[in-house]
Structure formats: C-alpha cells, structure tokens
Structure 1
Amino acid sequence: MEIKNIVFDFGGVLIDWNPLYLFDDKFTDKKELQFFLENVCTTTWNQDLDKGYPFESGVNDLILKFPEFTKEIKLFHTNWDEMIKSDIPENSSLLDNLKENYKLYGLTNWSSETLPILYNRFSFFKYFKGVVVSGEEKICKPDVEIYTILTDRYNLKPKQSVFIDDNLTNVQAAEILGFKVVHVKKTTNLKEELKKLGVVFQ
C-alpha cells in the first residue's frame, strides 16, 4: 500500500536531548553525577513529566526526598533548555524534502510545558500537519491509546504510514498496529531506511 504519512518521534530522532548536557559540569564527582541521574532525576520521574505531571510539583517532590540536591533538581526545570544540544541534522534535514510528497506528523513523549521551547528553537516543526504530545494527552508511548489518538485525530491509516522512533518498544507497538517502522539507532541512515520502505525523495 502506498505510503502517505510519515510520523516522527522527537527526542533521539530529530532532537539531541540528554540531561548530561546540562549536568556534566555541575558535578565534580562523576559517581555523584551518576547517582543523581540514576536515583534522583530518573528516567521514570521524567516520564511522569512527559505524562503531564507539572514540573513544579515534580521538582518539589524530589527536593523533599533529596534535599541535598535541591540546587541541581531545580536546574532540571529552570535550565531545561540546556539539555538540548541541537537538532539531529542528518534526520531533520530530510523534512524539507519529505513534506513535498508526504504528510508529516509527530508522536512524542514530551512535557507540554517544555514543548514550546522546541517550537521556538527549531523552525522545521512548521512542516508538521499535526502533533500528538504525551504531556497533553496524559498518556505515553508505547500505550496503544496514544497511537490511536494520532490515527483517529488525523484520519491516518497505519498501513499507509511510517513510524520512526529511537525506542524499540515504541517501534514494536507501532508495528503491531500496522505501521511501517524505522528504529533509529546511532548507526542508522534514516534516508536509506526510508527508501527501503518505498519512501521517495525528490
């Protein structure tokens, strides 16, 4: 079936986001840095923010548990933009070409509070016909419901759509629903992978 739509995850596909970019020089002891990222501002805690839990509440929760890291925890909110190094140009540069033949969409696990920072910093988001954001829907990938919100809201047929994500579990969930998929890894040439699926570049 002909491909009509291409759906992009943001972090790890179009955006180079990593807490290390902010915190690497905030700790002189690398073991303390590792402890902070693995036990304080954890992936699970950040996912709660992605599900719509307010940043202010999330920060206050952690300060109660880890008062010795009060300064660093607050930075996760006030200096959040420093966790974005840049876009990922080898992938984001494809959007201008792809928009000529395909409808582009976003499906991202991201806090609705910080999403405007992306939109203000990177002009390529204007190419998207629509975006579904976990922080607005209060649900994250790989839950089937957020994929259904995307397809229902924008009238997308999975068999006519490619889904691109750097998280294998999210990719597998999309594939089960009938999407053509690309799992982005560090070594992935996204343009070549899309061509293998039948995506045409001008």
Structure 2
Amino acid sequence: MTEQRAITDIVFDMGNVLMTFDGHAFAEAYADTPEDAELIYGALFGRTEWALLDSGTIDHETIARVAEAHVPERLLPNLRACIAGWPELSEPIAATNALACRLKKQGYGIYVLSNASTRIGEQLGHMPAMSVVDGWVASAFERIMKPDPAIFRALCERYDLVPSQCLFVDDSLDNCVGAEVAGMRSFHFTGNVDELEAAIAEAH
C-alpha cells in the first residue's frame, strides 16, 4: 500500500507569482513622461475602484469612466490604450512557471486562485504554465476576494480538492492566512523559487 502524501495539489496566486503585475510599469508604457505615467496610474490602478473591479462589484466600463474623469483630456488616448492593452504587458515569471510544469510532471494537481477581474483570461492566455493548469478561480467571477476563506473553499468544492492536501502559494501574507483558515497549508512567496520548491518537497 502506497503512503498518501500530505500535499497533492498546489494552488498558485497569479499576480507576482506566475505573472507580473506592476501598475506603475503598465502606466509608464503608455505615457511620454513620468508625470503623465503617474496621472494614468493614479486614475486607474491606484484607485480603490480597482479592488471593486477585482471583486466583481463594478465592471470594466465603470472603471473606465471613473479613470477618464481623473486624467486631463490630453491623456485620454493614452489612458484608453492602457486600459485596452495592459494585460499584454503582464509578463510570465519564468521560474515559477517552470516549477509549475515540473510539479505537474511529478503528479501534483496545479491550480490558480487569483484576485483578478473578468479579463483574467487575457493574462492566462500567455502564461506558459497554463498548459498544465487543472483549474482556476478568479475573484470577479465569484464575487469573493482573498483573503476570505470562502473563495478557497469555492476552489476546493469546484474541483473536488481536499483543503488539507493543498498548498497555497501567494505573495500576500494575509491571503496565506485566509487559505489556512480554509484548511489549506500555505507558503508566503517572496520571490525565492528554490525555497518554494524545497517546501513542497518537504511536504511530500
């Protein structure tokens, strides 16, 4: 009889774990000066409405209207281009994508759980590890956000996962705590993929 390993499924956050998310860099890509970049950032990514978008409380048309009201008219074309194109500037984090692919080959289930808007597919669409992902949940579709334990439970219920056999990986310590309340183990990711891989091996 084979001994069951403690961890069978790895649940990754997306932003700054599998894919970069840097609102300042996104804004800079659509601005001609640092000052204009700051105006675009402040009107879009830097507003509390961005969290409402991720929560599914408001839609993309609403946040666009809000953002347009907070930039000079001359920057409206830049802002609109940023709104349309920023997901393409979210870049894969090579080391964690490679790790996810290795873990899949080792027999782990691979899942993504992200506080993200309904446009999450535009990021996942150019994420290398997406080819090995067994399922994903995004906050805007659930209308629940991390660190609420309910979103972790929703993932487990949808994909028939046992929380105690899941390791959740996130760059937010608060989100890790939420996962643990839901019965998962967690790893606070600070950029060191070797540490993450070692922690997974120890949990085997």
Q: TM-score, normalised by structure 1?
A: 0.84
Which residue of the other structure, out of 88, 101, 109, is the alignment partner of 1:103? 109
Structure 1 distance, partners of 2:136, 2:76, is 34
Task: Give 3-state SS (helix, strand or coil) of 1:110's partner.
Answer: coil
Q: Which residue does the alignment assign to 1:195?
A: 198
Which residue of the other structure, out of 153, 156, 159, is the alignment partner of 1:151? 156
Which residue of the other structure, out of 23, 45, 48, is the alignment partner of 1:44? 48
Q: How does 1:21-60 map to 2 (within 5 A)?
A: 21-38=25-42, 40-42=44-46, 44-52=48-56, 53-60=58-65
Which residue of the other structure, out of 18, 22, 25, is the alignment partner of 1:18? 22
Quote the offset at 1:45 in angstroms.
Answer: 2.2
Q: Judging changes above 3 Å, is the alpha-carbon distance between structure 1 residues 61 and 152 closer, same or farther for their aligned structure 2 residues?
A: same
Which residue of the other structure, out of 80, 84, 87, is the alignment partner of 2:92? 87
CA contact (8 A) 1:18 1:83 kept: no
- Which range moves more in the overlay, 98-107 or 175-184? 175-184
Task: Give 3-state SS (helix, strand or coil) of 2:6's partner.
Answer: coil
Quote the offset at 1:138 in angstroms.
Answer: 1.7
Q: How does 1:161-180 map to 2 (within 5 A)?
A: 161-180=166-185
Pair 1:182-2:183 in alignment: no
Quote the offset at 1:36 in angstroms.
Answer: 4.1
Q: Judging changes above 3 Å, is the alpha-carbon distance between structure 1 residues 174 and 43 closer, same or farther for their aligned structure 2 residues?
A: farther
Quote the offset at 1:103 in angstroms.
Answer: 0.8
CA contact (8 A) 1:21 1:82 kept: no
Q: Which runs of 5+ in 1 are unaligned?
A: none
Q: Which residue does the alignment assign to 2:165?
A: 160
Q: Judging changes above 3 Å, is the alpha-carbon distance between structure 1 residues 81 and 179 closer, same or farther for their aligned structure 2 residues?
A: same
Q: Which residue does the alignment assign to 1:76?
A: 82
Structure 1 distance, partners of 2:12, 2:128, is 15
Task: Give 3-state SS (helix, strand or coil) of 2:15's partner.
Answer: coil
Query: By percentage of residues, which structure has more strand?
Result: 1
Pair 1:133-2:138 in alignment: yes
Quote the offset at 1:40 in angstroms.
Answer: 4.7
Q: TM-score, normalised by structure 2?
A: 0.83
Question: Deviations along 1:72-121, whole A, 9 cap, x unmatched?
Answer: 4323321223431x211111101221113211111111112x22222332
Task: Give 3-state SS (helix, strand or coil) of 1:14's partner.
Answer: coil
Q: Count the aligned residue pairs.
A: 196
Structure 2 distance, partners of 1:38, 1:169, is 24
Structure 2 distance, partners of 1:40, 1:110, is 15
